[in-house]
Structure 1
Amino acid sequence: MRLRSAHRLATVLATAALLSPVSAGTATAAADGFGPAHHPAGAAALRTVGGTFNINGYNWGGYAATGTFSSVAATWSEPTVKCNSRSDLYAPWVGIDGYSSSTVEQTGVATDCSSGSPVYQAWYEMYPAAPVYLSSSSYPVRAGDSIHASVTHTSGSTYTLAISDTTRGWNYSTNKSLSGARNANAEAIIESPPGKYPNFGTLKFTSVTANGSPIGNYSPVAMDPSANGVYEAHASALSGGNSFTMTYSHE
């Protein structure tokens, strides 16, 4: 998922309902799903919020490191979600690229409120291609499940995207190619393409690594997501260099 500028959020919000789950290997109808970060020109990207360590992440929240990366991984427990509206849509994910580059290689679990109730579904994306959702019958996800996700640059333009639900005992991985990827960032992120987060309470990322080491070793930036001038969640400081929480505050 790419971090959207404010003028794009309205467009994404109008198309968010198109992000309906589909089987693995099939792209959704909305190509403008999850993708790279873009800080709008002249916006307060460097303004600290909620403390001295966070910047305005717009529709991203979490940590992003800049450098040269061949892998990123993290574990989290999928939180119980309360939908504020049918427009709510968000996902925790890990990825390479996207914070300072125009592609993203990423995988995670999306929560969609378009039915009126939260629907959890694993997905991956090689942005700018559309997100691909895994079959919920073969790869079910429920609140409370322990999720582990990783993205690895294997060779050339090829990446392995892997996600597992250790609570339910399934594993999924796929190899995909993407030309033009720079391997310039490593991230553990929550994102809402329409800028409308459901109430997810607190989500904790643990064992967040980049190139096999704690992401804190790479001086990552911390981001709090915002929409319409309101901060929607807060990223805690890193603990042990590899763990942090995201706490919901506002839709």
Structure 2
Amino acid sequence: MGISVRLPRHIGRSRAVRATATVLLLTGALAPVGAGTASAHGFGPHSSRIKDSNWGGYVAQGSFSRITGSWVEPHATCNTSNDLFAPWVGLDGYGSQTVEQTGVQTDCSSGSPVLSAWYEMYPAAPVYWNDPVSEGDHFTASVISQGNGVYTLTLTDDTKGWTESTQQSLDGQNASAEAVIESPTQSYPSFDRLDFSGVTVDGRPLDAAAPQSLTSGGYSPGVLQSGSFAMTPGGGQLHLPHNARPPKIRY
């Protein structure tokens, strides 16, 4: 009987690394990843592309120990089986090679949107929770550095009433804090709007940390106000601080 295996697709990995992972998995040397049944697609550090980014949203740089934020999971339409994305909040990953993050993934590999809750201590693969997740659910997530490389990651489905929390260890730098959407496959499904709200960093609204805005896959962040903003299709490709003025265009 044949077995079909979907490998984690980490951003920035070379073809040689992916090929090696394939050999290890087929020989049984690479163990399955995740507590749930979702495919293990890796989310990871920020990487810039021409006129675009793998992250879309707001990212602050500095020294941070805590981020909290909420969002409403949008209705998504799959365009291809390669579509994959997640809203998440986390620490690190912008100028560092670790990311401590938690969010909700929409995976179109089956042809229809499949939603899964997860956390990831990158470069380790994501771990999935088995709790039910639906479009329209309101989520609240937090990542807290407890010191000495210990992190507490918590995700709550405020609509369905469940909470998952885990404590993990990683040699992170706590050098950035972010509330973003990301597509490891660089292929987003279609959605009209995703609202982030109540995003705070070290107890203050994200606005106070002078974050940078990023556009990803054609989705752009709106104005950030009191820790709230919307991701919508379209918009410019400029990567500017949220309070910066765009350049004047001369005709």
Common fold: TM-score over 0.5: yes
Verify the 8 A CA contact 2:33 2:40 in the aligned structure 1: no
Aligned residue number for residue 233 of structure 1:
219
Corresponding pairs, count:
216
One-letter amino acid of the structure 2 residue matched with residue 239 of structure 1: Q
**Which of structures 1 and 2 has the bigger CA Rg?**
2
Structure 2 residue runs of 5 or longer lacking an equivalent are 1-7, 26-31, 236-251
Verify the 8 A CA contact 2:72 2:138 in the aligned structure 1: yes
- Structure 2 residue matching 1:141: 3-state secondary structure: coil
Aligned residue number for residue 185 of structure 1:
176
Structure 1 residue runs of 5 or longer lacking an equivalent are 45-55, 227-231
User: Matched residues in 2 for 1:73 and 1:3: separation?
Assistant: 25
Aligned residue number for residue 223 of structure 1:
214
Aligned residue number for residue 243 of structure 2:
none
User: Matched residues in 1 for 2:120 and 2:168: separation?
Assistant: 9
User: Matched residues in 2 for 1:21 and 1:140: separation?
Assistant: 19
Aligned residue number for residue 80 of structure 1:
75
Aligned residue number for residue 163 of structure 1:
155
Q: 1:244 aligns with which of 207, 215, 229?
A: 229
User: Matched residues in 2 for 1:87 and 1:21: separation?
Assistant: 20
**1:84-233 counterparts in 2 under 5 A?**
84-135=79-130, 139-179=131-171, 181-226=172-217, 232-233=218-219
User: Matched residues in 2 for 1:4 and 1:185: separation?
Assistant: 18
Structure 1's 121 and 21: CA in aligned 2 closer, same or farther, altered over 3 A? Answer: farther
Verify the 8 A CA contact 1:4 1:58 in the aligned structure 2: no
Q: Deviations over 1:24-74 (max 9, x none)?
A: 5x99655xx1011133xxx65xxxxxxxxxxx5521100000011010010
User: Matched residues in 1 for 2:162 and 2:193: separation?
Assistant: 24
Structure 1's 74 and 234: CA in aligned 2 closer, same or farther, altered over 3 A? Answer: same
Say which structure, 1 or 2, has more relative contact order (CA 8 Å, 6+ apart).
1
What is the CA distance between 1:155 and its match in structure 2?
2.0
One-letter amino acid of the structure 2 residue matched with residue 85 of structure 1: T
What is the CA distance between 1:174 and its match in structure 2?
0.2
- Structure 1 residue matching 2:153: 3-state secondary structure: strand
Aligned residue number for residue 50 of structure 1:
none
TM-score of the superposed pair, with normalisation by structure 2: 0.78
Let me know the Cα RMSD of the aligned residues.
2.9
What is the CA distance between 1:237 and its match in structure 2?
1.4
One-letter amino acid of the structure 2 residue matched with residue 201 of structure 1: D
What is the CA distance between 1:2 and its match in structure 2?
11
Q: Among the aligned pairs, what percent are the same residue?
A: 48
What is the CA distance between 1:194 and its match in structure 2?
0.9
TM-score of the superposed pair, with normalisation by structure 1: 0.78
One-letter amino acid of the structure 2 residue matched with residue 244 of structure 1: F
- Structure 2 residue matching 1:216: 3-state secondary structure: helix
- Is 1:38–2:47 an aligned residue pair? yes
One-letter amino acid of the structure 2 residue matched with residue 238 of structure 1: L
One-letter amino acid of the structure 1 residue matched with residue 189 of structure 2: P
Q: Deviations over 1:186-218 (max 9, x none)?
A: 000100001100012100000011001101101
